[in-house]
Structure 1
Amino acid sequence: MLSSVRRSLGRKLMLAVGVPSVAFALVLLMWLRSRTEALQPELDASYRLAIGAVIALAAGGAAIHALAMRFLVEQPLQRLAAGLRRAREGDFLHRVPVESDDELGVLAENFNTTLAAVTDLHARRIEDAASMESMQRELALKAQLEARVKELTLLFDLSRRLVSTLELDRLLGIVTELVGRGLGDHAFALFLAEEGTGDLVVRSVSGLDAAVVGTRVRSGEGPAGWAARERATVLVGDTTTDPRRPVLPWHGGDAAGAILSVPLLHQDACTGVLAFFRPARDAFPADEVRLLESVAGQAAIAIENARLHQKMVRLSQTDALTGVHNRRSLFARLELEAERCERFEHHMAIALVDVDRFRAYNEAHGHAAGDAILRRVGALLQGAVRKVDLVARYGGEEFAVLLPRANRAAALAAAEKLRGTVREAALPDGAGHVTISVGVGVWPDDARELAALMDAADAALYAAKRAGRDAVRAHEPGMREHPGRKRDVATTADAEAAGN
């Protein structure tokens, strides 16, 4: 009973107005009865009739009041409450009918106006959400486009600069600059596979101590060695949990991070590995991995071309039989050293070396044995000179040794060292041991032209031969004019011009 009253405004008003009215009427009747108690026998019937009339009047008034409250107040308020519930549930298009001009009608009209404003606000919010979603899609697309442009720019710059040189060291520097420093906060190491062993050797780094250069990694060792062996990209999301432990000191030794190793593949062969480190777990997204694989493909082609170029240059400058420099390389270096001598007034010497009695040995034991002697003598000569010196095969059984910044005394000491080295090696030649004769010419003491310098050294060599072989002679005035010598300046100059 009480809960139904609490939920109804009409019942509340009926109780608030009707009950006090009935009570007031009853009190009034009781007061009248007390005042007319002496006349009770005559008024008793009238009194009961009055009480009944008052009760009937109160009941009728209460009923009329309840109906009025029901239709004039309670039902409009219920419609307003139903409208509020529908609005709360999201039905912003619902409107409450305005049925009167009183306060409830004004309330219904204001409710409809408010609901219309809420509807407009909700519509604008939907439009704003759609606009925001569209803007987010545009921003995401813009970010993707910017990332693609950055990737294409990197690939374009890389391809443009990679084709600008065939020098391997410069090429590695370009890859390190564009890839190692161009992709953000990480350490980078470029490994090249060593010919013969297949080991990976660090050739260039970024974000690492330069002392790391030269570090050797075997195939299958660490992520880089694994990538080289499997010829596939290796992504270590967390170095603390992956069994392929890092080999290089990427970031404080055992610091956690992620490593990406991308092999440099060329015609199914691994020429090296690009290795990256970031001090965070799972730091290499899939799109960046694809980009670095594209970079590795371009770098692999460029590095292989540079290596082939080095091989071709080496072959063009190397004597195929002995492995020392050939005549072309000798005269090219002679020209450079002659320019330095003219500019800085330095000395320079050339030593011509001839294997004694080689023709007789070659005829007696065959060309294969003679070739073996030449290879061994060439190796001995290379092991007996300075790093700045150059040993070349001059022709047949003759070698030439270029001695930059060597005066006559230094040149003679070097020539004696060459002679002694071959003699001490005790190479058998059938009749004893292999020996050499050496002739020395010095720039500018003996000549200021290359052809004349070579002729001076040849004249000194001829003098060493005349002295009984296994000897060293420096050029002296008059040696060129010896009647038994077959060479002269003209023939040497022709050989220089021919370059072979």
Structure 2
Amino acid sequence: MTLRARLTAAFLAIVLGPVLLGAVFVGMTVTTVNRARAAERLDQAAGAVRGAVDALCGELRAGAVAAAVVADQGRAVAQDVPVQLRDAEDHPVGTGGSAPPSPWAVCGQSAGTGAYAAVAARVERRDRAGVLVGYAYAVRPVDAALLDRLAAGTGGATVTAARAGGGYQRQLDGPLPLTVSVPGPAQAGLVPILLVVVLLAGVGAVAVAWWLARGTTRPLAELALAADRVAEGDLSARVPVRTRDEVGRLGTTFNRMTRELQSYVAALTASRDQLRGQLGLLGDTLSSTHDVPRILEVILQTARAATGARAGVVLLLDADAGELVGDGIRIPLGAGLLGSVASSGVPRRGRVDRDGPAFAPGEPSCRTYMAVPFSAPDSVRGVLALYDRLGDDEFDDADLVTLRTFASRAAVAVENVRVHEEAQRLSHTDPLTGLYNYRTLKDSLHLEIERATRFGHRLCVLALDLDRFKAVNDAYGHGAGDAVLAEFARRVRSVIREVDLAFRRGGEEFVVVLPETDAVGGIVVADRLNTAIRSAPVSVPPKLPNAREPGGELHAARRIPVTVSIGIAVFPEHGGTGPAVLEVADDALYLAKAAGRDTYRLAELPVAPVPGGASGSPHPALPGSGR
């Protein structure tokens, strides 16, 4: 059963019940009133008839008295009404007028049970001595005229001479037995009227109930349909508001809710699209570059867009200096908000005026904050912090989770860049010495030759080889040999310029490329290298206690003397390509080895001129040998 049907039934029960009871009550009341009024009319009519009978008896008595007087005087009786004289034995002796036949109802006497043809008044006749001599009667026949006369003053009652039973009529006692009756209440017309009234009330109640039920359930049905549309995702659903009652207020509230929900979803959609764009930019950045500052900038922008922060900062940890370093910011570990987050590894959020902390010098100021560390598997790499959320709200736990997500991305990005840089370094450098490897030597020498050719510069190539290095390995072990190689590379780097390039060619062989350097400059660098290498023995860790040096002596620490032989070649004098120049430098190296080692040799100029090179005669300023 629907709500509309229940409301209609309830309304009809509430309205039609009293209507029906009212109709019954009205019918009973009207019937009672009508009966009371009929009884009252009957009383009045009976009283009027009694009065008329008494008046009639008075008239007849007067006629009888007159008849008696006239008879006593001996004259003839002449009356308007029939008169009859009787003797003392009540036998007729004379008549005046046509007297109706007996029996007569005599005024002053009680009526019998039979029917009377006339009503009469009797007067005694006495002589002078007072002796009864007879009677004088004045008679009036009981006919329709008499009955009409008696009923004339009753206001519509009916008077009959016969006795009858039933309601709304009365038998009158007296000389003449009469029945007075009045019309009964008009019950037959009341019932249809009440039925019509009840029917009209029922029709009206049904119409009103339908209207009220419809007015109540229609907005609810519209609200249900609109709620279904909202549940299906149509947030533009609205309901018409026709009234200002509770149902109307419900519709108004629903419309306001859907408007707010639509605005909220639109804002979420815009935020999602913005975040999706930022994440796309972040993904593109992570996949297209290994520029750490650029990656961190995109992560910071994305985190700000996702949380609605006004500002933010990303600081990386300089482990050697023990500081967080950013764009113009240096904060010691443990100092201020960012330093404490980096040192403890615990994220923080809050309000400065409520939660602190005191900021370190140079740290950004704010009202609300949120800071999380980002870490590699082994240690903290930096801190990501956001400040002052848009509006007056502070950051919540959901924002902190979001920021930790971006911080993890930052950690992965930094670690990936570090790994990439390390891989790049290892692919181009020798892991033992830290110098460029042979693969990089070929590429770099080719590029430097091209640059020297383009700008008309010279390029000097030094081929280096450690003297008697195999003996070092045999005598001290390969661990000591590795230590010698690492120290040798350090001393080479300390001698050459930043623009110069040092390479490990393999084993104990090395190459140094000196851009924009001629033979004289190459000799100067070679002499410095010889001096730096021989200047001090190389200290290596001690062997195990049971290890012995040649000769059977135990040594706790060892100092190994090291020297180097160097061959020098210059582009374009000694070759027009990188391999050609390097080959000439190798030849010069062999000459230095043949000359007793721990020295350098400048390659001899070829007899045939090299394109772009000098003549084959020795350079007057170039000595043939060094130490």
> Shared topology, TM-score over 0.5?
yes
Higher helix share: 1
Distance 1:415 1:183 in 2: 61
Which residue does the alignment assign to 1:447?
Answer: 575
**Residue number among 457, 465, 480 corresponding to 1:369 in the alignment:** 480
CA distance in structure 1 between the aligned counterparts of 2:266 and 2:431, rounded to whole angstroms:
59
The equivalent of 2:312 in structure 1 is 188
Once the two structures are superposed, the pairs formed by residues 72-471 of structure 1 within 5 Å of their partners are 120=243, 127-176=251-300, 178-179=302-303, 186-194=310-318, 199-203=322-326, 205=327, 211-212=328-329, 215=330, 217-218=332-333, 220-238=334-352, 242=355, 244-247=357-360, 249-251=362-364, 255-267=365-377, 269-278=379-388, 283-427=394-538, 433-471=561-599
Q: Is the 8 A contact 2:464 2:566 kept in 1?
A: yes
Question: Deviation string for 1:310-359 (max 9, x for gaps)?
Answer: 11222222223323222122222222222322332222222111222323
Change (3 A) 1:431 1:448: same
More displaced 10-residue stretch of structure 1: 183-192 or 295-304: 183-192
Alpha-carbon displacement from aligned partner over 1:394-435 (angstroms, at most 9, x marks no partner): 122221112122222222222222222222234479998322
Aligned residue pairs: how many?
A: 349
User: What is the identity percentage for the equivalent residue pairs of Structure 1 and Structure 2?
Assistant: 31
Structure 2 distance, partners of 1:291, 1:283, is: 14
Q: Determine the C-alpha separation between the residues in 2 that align with 1:256 and 1:392.
A: 51
* Aligned equivalents of 1:198, 1:263: Cα separation in 2: 18
What amino acid maps onto 1:344 in structure 2?
A: F
* 2-structure distance, mates of 1:329, 1:231: 40
AA partner of residue 162 (structure 1): L
The 3 A distance-change label for structure 1 pair 295 and 364 is closer
What is the Cα deviation at residue 454 of structure 1? Answer: 0.6
Q: Quote how far apart the aligned CAs of 1:465 are.
A: 2.1
Shift of 1:272: 2.3
Greater C-alpha radius of gyration: 2
Matched residues in 1 for 2:607 and 2:314: separation? 57
> Are residues 424 and 186 of structure 1, via their aligned partners in 2, closer, same or farther at CA, if it must alter by over 3 Å?
farther
Deviations 1:359-402 (A, max 9, x none): 33333333222222221111111121112222221122221112
SS at match of 1:401: strand
Partner Cα distance (2:297, 2:476) in 1: 51
Q: Secondary structure at the match of 1:320?
A: coil
The one-letter amino acid of 2:387's match is F
Q: Tell me the distance in 2 between the aligned counterparts of 1:479 and 1:231.
A: 70
Which structure shows the bigger proportion of residues in strand conformation? 2
TM-score, length basis structure 2: 0.50
Assess, with a 3 A threshold, how the Cα gap between structure 1 residues 173 and 344 changes in structure 2: closer, same or farther: farther
* Equivalent residues of 1:348, 1:403 under 8 A apart: yes
Contact 2:275 2:306 survives alignment (8 Å): no
CA deviations on 1:265-324 (whole Å, 9 max, x unpaired) are 455853322123349986435444333222222222222222111112222222233232
Contact 2:522–2:568 under 8 Å retained in 1: yes
* CA 1:120–1:179: 2 relative to 1, 3 Å: closer
What's the CA shift for 1:455? 0.7
Using a 3 Å threshold, how does the CA distance of structure 1 residues 191 and 287 change in structure 2: closer, same or farther? same
Provide the rounded CA distance (Å) in 2 between the counterparts of 1:201 and 1:345: 46
* 1:458, distance to aligned residue in structure 2 (A): 1.0
Kept after mapping to 2: 8 A contact 1:163/1:302: no
Query: In structure 1, the residue corresponding to 2:457 is in which secondary structure?
Result: coil
SS at match of 1:425: coil
C-alpha distance after superposition, 1:167-211 (max 9, x if no partner): 44543454356557997774433223446x5945324x4xxxxx3
Q: For residues 237 and 395 of structure 1, what CA distance do their matches in structure 2 show?
A: 61
* Counterpart code for 1:360: A
CA contact (8 A) 1:189 1:202 kept: no
C-alpha RMSD over aligned residues: 3.4
Task: Identify the residue that residue 51 of structure 2 maps to in structure 1.
Answer: none
Q: CA separation in 2, counterparts of 1:184 and 1:158?
A: 17
Q: Which one-letter code corresponds to 2:324 in the other structure?
A: V
SS in 1 for 2:573: coil
Quick one: distance in 2 between partners of 1:233 and 1:431?
51
Q: Deviations over 1:37-82 (max 9, x none)?
A: xxxxxxxxxxxxxxxxxxxxxxxxxxxxxxxxxxxxxxxxxxxxxx
Contact 2:370 2:387 in 1 (8 A): yes
Tell me: CA distance 1:216–1:155, structure 2 relative to 1, closer, same or farther (3 Å). Answer: same
Q: Contact conserved, 2:351 with 2:394, CA < 8 A, in 1?
A: yes
**CA separation in 2, counterparts of 1:413 and 1:161?**
47
| 8 A Cα contact 1:459 1:479, kept in partner | no
C-alpha distance 374-432 of structure 1, shift in aligned 2 (>3 A): closer
Cα gap change, 1:332 to 1:241, in 2 (>3 Å):
farther
Contact 1:439/1:457 (8 A) holds in 2 = yes
* Cα distance change on mapping 1:342 and 1:416 into 2, 3 Å: same
- Correspondence for 1:116: none
User: Is the alpha carbon distance of 1:372 and 1:166 closer, same or farther for their aligned partners in structure 2, counting shifts above 3 Å?
Assistant: same
TM-score when normalising by structure 1: 0.61
Letter in 1 for 2:332: V
2:281–2:298: 8 Å Cα contact kept in structure 1? no
Write the distance in 2 (CA, Å) between the matches of 1:334 and 1:419: 23
Which consecutive residues of structure 2, in runs of 5 or more, have no partner in the other structure?
1-214, 216-241, 541-557, 609-627
Residues 335 and 360 in structure 2, CA contact (< 8 A), matched pair in contact too: yes
Using a 3 Å threshold, how does the CA distance of structure 1 residues 184 and 131 change in structure 2: closer, same or farther?
closer
Letter in 2 for 1:459: D
* Structure 1 residues 200 and 179, CA gap change in structure 2 (3 angstroms): farther
Distance 1:437 1:138, change over 3 A: same
Does the residue aligned with 2:498 lie in a helix, a strand or coil? coil
CA distance in 1, matches of 2:432, 2:607: 32
